[in-house]
Chain A
């Protein structure tokens, strides 16, 4: 069973700090990775995608991918109370099986940013 695992949290950081969210995946063939943010009672919202080893920055968010270690992370700089949400890591190996563009999601990490 191909899995995506996240540190279960919850994670609590003070406002202005860096929040670090981590994720590992079991399918070495996975090629595309995503971070979603989900506020309580709402739908997941795509915040970052990453496909290549290294870092990808978008505003206060940095995604990091290490395929050798099968590890994906998300850093949130200058954390704000509005960043308080559950963060979902997802990966896919859509070439296995050929047709199902399935994202496999981790169970999520609840982040609380304290004012």
Chain B
């Protein structure tokens, strides 16, 4: 089954304790991205990756790191989590460009609900 797999689904941690949220896709997609979803703010992009070893910041990258060493994996790293990073996180992947004016849609993972206390 084509899917984006995130782990863990739920995580409660303490301020300052490094954590990693894993993301893996089995669709051979080149493009991967992380979003966070907060009430009243909607979905906001954190980081994205065009391909292996190619990553860049989205709209809200502060406090996050990513890496893309393999095409299928795109982990999100919080080096020193803070309570304002309490959120619902989604990893997404896409084939990218369908034509010069058409972008394929994203496939989202199941989400990780993170609480930082």
Chain A residues within 8 Å of B, Cβ to Cβ: 31-32, 34, 36, 42-46, 49, 51, 88, 92, 94-95, 99-103, 105-108
Contacts and interface: CB of A to CB of B under 8 A. Distances in A.
Contact of B105 (A46, A99, A108): A46
Q: What DSSP secondary structure best describes chain B's contact surface?
A: strand
Interface stretch (B70-78, B79-87, B93-101): B93-101
Given A43-B110, A101-B48, A101-B96, A106 B103 contact: no
B23 to A, nearest CB: 12
Given A94-B97, A102-B58, A107-B40, A46 B31 contact: no
Interface of B: 31, 33, 40-43, 45, 48, 50, 56, 58-59, 90, 94, 96-97, 100-103, 105-111
B48 A107 contact: no
Contacts of B50: 99, 101
Contacts of B105: 34, 36, 46, 49, 103
Given A32-B101, A51-B101, A94-B97, A103 B42 contact: no
